Amino acid sequence: MVPSLKLHDFMEEIRGAKTQAQEREVIQKECAHIRASFRDGDPLQRHRQLTKLLYVHMLGYPAHFGQMECLKLIASPRFIDKRVGYLGAMLLLDERHDAHLLITNSIKNDLSQGIQPVQGLALCTLSTMGSAEMCRDLATEVEKLLLQPGPYVRKKAILTAVHMVRKAPELSDIFLPLCAKLLHEHHHGILLGTITLIMELCERSPAALRHFRKVVPKLVQILRTLVTTGYSTEHSISGISDPFLQVQILRLLRILGRNHEKSSETMNDLLAQVATNTDTSRNAGSAVLFETVLTIMDIHSAAGLRVLAVNILGRFLLNSDKNIRYVALTSLLKLVKSDHSAVQRHRPTVVECLRESDASLSRRALELSLALVNSSNVRSMTQELQAFLESCPPDLRADCASGILLAAERFAPTKRWHIDTILHVLTTAGTYVRDDAVANLTQLIGGAQELHAYSVHRLYHALAEDISQQPLVQVATWCIGEYGDFLLENCEETEPLQVEEEEVMALLEKVLQSHMSLPATRGYALTALMKLSTRIQGDTDRIRQVVSIYGSCLDVELQQRAVEYNVLFQKYDHMRAAILEKMPLVEHGGPQTDEEAKESRDDTAPVPTEPQTSKLLDLLNLLDDTSGDTQQPPSLNPSPEGALVHLLDLPCAPPPPAPIPNLKVFEREGVQLNLSFTRPPGTPALLLITVTTTNSSEDEVTHFICQAAVPKSVQLQLEAPSGNTVPAQDGPPITQLFRILNPNKAPLRLKLRLTYNHFGQSVQEIFEVNNLPVKTWQ
């Protein structure tokens, strides 16, 4: 049998493997050895085997059979075993394995009796993978270590305490009283840990936050010492003494000073001093300065100081170091809500950053630019953003496009500019815009009557150049259909190019036939062609031809439309003009217009969910001026000719449903519960139950609470009751509304639980309502 390899040789062999398969072979062979050695090998060599296993684990191979070995190694008295054992525990074990609880005992022993390095290992393991129960068991041990003199173990104990507080928040009571004292230590590691612990405690409880406000003077003193002390080799990084500690202190000051006048005042001088004196030629100084700026902006600082802070950020934006510019952009983004005008001053620099080739920087610059758009700078900003849209990387396109559209919607100076902007976005990044862009644009154009001619001309020319961008094509075909007559006339605002009928029809046919068009787009094109039949002066033979060809199209939706339009030419030619006249203005959110909005939306699903005949029905509804829902009764004959006849014969909306009788569900000592039902006609799945509680007894009912439960397939929403007291002798009742959504028409059962006080006793009643009328759920 090949002997087990030494660690060094093992790694050499792995590196020597030329293929993945070879590497796997080597590792599997060695893992077999490791397993055998764990079973009955030399206990003194166990740590070497586990080290090999951990290496293999890092490369991604399974190593779970080493978990129990970690426990054995941790229990061994030798330091070398414990070291590897604890490392293995941190890498291989976690809360989800039951084995992790077994090390609690070992950790306890090591914490109380081990030498310093061993205590350090135990604390490290506890802070990495300690579960909530482990933390609770070992809290007292850790507390003891916090108080003993050696700084090495103390600093580790403090950070372990942070982890424990995160896992088991009730332990904060143990550690909170010790923090203030720890701040008086001099060792930087202890201070760093203590400040982290205080931040964690403050974030968890407002009471702790108030308690720690009293240490603000001490923190200010520590920071001042750090800033004013001369060069000390111990903790300095590029000439700044312990920037890590400075940054943490500034962070804690920010948390403590927020919304608190007195603390903010205490820190003002120091913050000003740090802001002006920190040397920012190296990264460390910049880190400290950034924290200072963020702290200044977050607390109640003097106005002059705030201006200084924003100017510092502006200066950083011009720095040549890209990291600094990135952090400056991030910080400005945080400030843009609270100090909008101050950040506006740096807008030109931000826009410069848009042109960066660095993806992270340009992303930040984009977010910040979008946040800075307002009504006064919208034109220039949109120009910049559109230029950016043309050249930006694909993953930013969607954000940029929707950002521009949103900004245009909020701040558009004129409708024409708005239409132009959306048009530009659609031509540049059409495939990345959101679904409702098409709906928005059609609505916008529909509403801007004076711009119909202009829009249709522009859209026509854009379409003529490029028929691949689906949202653009959809809007353009819709417009050409609606406003085709404007297109054929001349328009002063665009180039006076006479558009011929033949050209328009040829373009629409091109869209119809193109393999790039989505099914929904082709539907648009066909309808547009049809509408054109009433808008043009020439004859309609060409259109008839196309329509009849598509009568045998494979796409069912197109086929249906084509056949209907065909019939419109043949049997109902006299009605054609009226049916196909211009649509009235679409309003946002109306129930009828919801259908329109649904159809003009970018619909990638080839089969629409609304009934097939609804589009024609909409037109007829507009004609007949009937209101109400456009949902077809399901008994309609689906054949096209028959459908048309039925639609034309359609008299009125379906009759209102018969009212559902009330139901008394509960009676006890004069307290009665009644249910009354309503089913609103527009939403068939919704049932509204009003629960009325009356009291005909001699004592009032107080603390009345009614809770309800329904079967799983049904949704229930309880509104707030009108009150929870019913006075005696038929006083004003309590009413409460239940909303029940039952789309599957499942049989409705209701379980009610009542709790109230009556005649000096507390009453609890649970009962099921089984005899609900059938009409409530069918």
Can you give the binding site for another protein, defined by CB under 8 A? 7-8, 11, 15, 44, 51, 54-55, 57-60, 62, 78-80, 83-84, 87, 91, 94-96, 117, 121, 123-124, 127-129, 152, 155-156, 159-160, 162-163, 188-189, 192-193, 196, 234-235, 237, 242-244, 247, 251, 283-284, 286-287, 290-291, 322-327, 330, 357-361, 363
Q: Which of 112, 143, 118, 142 is nearest to 130 (CA)?
A: 142
Looking at beta carbons only, is 87 or 706 nearer to another protein?
87
Looking at beta carbons only, is 96 or 515 nearer to another protein?
96
Round to whole Å and give the CA distance between 198 and 190: 12
Question: What's the min distance (Å) between Cβ of 17 and another protein?
Answer: 12
Q: Which of 403, 441, 425 is nearest to 601 (CA)?
A: 441
Round to whole Å and give the CA distance between 470 and 750: 49
Looking at beta carbons only, is 188 or 458 nearer to another protein?
188
Please, which residues bridge with residue 241 across strands? Answer: 236
Looking at beta carbons only, is 55 or 666 nearer to another protein?
55
Question: What's the min distance (Å) between Cβ of 288 and another protein?
Answer: 9
Round to whole Å and give the CA distance between 610 and 630: 10
Round to whole Å and give the CA distance between 592 and 586: 9
Question: What's the min distance (Å) between Cβ of 337 and another protein?
Answer: 16
Looking at beta carbons only, is 127 or 440 nearer to another protein?
127
Q: Which of 364, 369, 372 is nearest to 330 (CA)?
A: 364
Looking at beta carbons only, is 283 or 431 nearer to another protein?
283
Looking at beta carbons only, is 290 or 677 nearer to another protein?
290
Cα first-last separation, the chain: 76
Looking at beta carbons only, is 334 or 703 nearer to another protein?
334
Question: What's the min distance (Å) between Cβ of 416 and another protein?
Answer: 37
Phi, psi of 86 (to 5 degrees): -65, -40
Question: What's the min distance (Å) between Cβ of 364 and another protein?
Answer: 9
Question: What's the min distance (Å) between Cβ of 286 and another protein?
Answer: 6
Round to whole Å and give the CA distance between 502 and 487: 12
In 10 A of CB 496, how many CB atoms?
Answer: 9
Round to whole Å and give the CA distance between 19 and 42: 33
Question: What's the min distance (Å) between Cβ of 548 and another protein?
Answer: 51
Phi, psi of 777 (to 5 degrees): -125, -5
By DSSP bridging, strand 236-237 and strand 240-241 are antiparallel
Question: What's the min distance (Å) between Cβ of 237 and another protein?
Answer: 6
Q: Which amino acid is at 429?
A: A
Looking at beta carbons only, is 104 or 427 nearer to another protein?
104
Round to whole Å and give the CA distance between 742 and 764: 28
Question: What's the min distance (Å) between Cβ of 140 and another protein?
Answer: 19
Looking at beta carbons only, is 128 or 494 nearer to another protein?
128
Q: HSE of 14 in the Cβ direction (CA atoms, 13 Å)?
A: 20
Please, which residues bridge with residue 717 across strands? Answer: 739
Q: Which of 504, 517, 499 is nearest to 558 (CA)?
A: 517
Question: What's the min distance (Å) between Cβ of 327 and another protein?
Answer: 5
**H/E stretch holding 301:** none
Looking at beta carbons only, is 8 or 39 nearer to another protein?
8
Q: Kindly state the tokens that stand for 652.
A: 């009125």
Question: What's the min distance (Å) between Cβ of 749 and another protein?
Answer: 40
Q: Kindly state the tokens that stand for 745.
A: 């028409």
**Residue 515 CA to chain centroid, in angstroms?**
35
Q: Which amino acid is at 623?
A: L
Query: Quick check: 389 and 425 in contact, CB under 8 A?
Result: yes
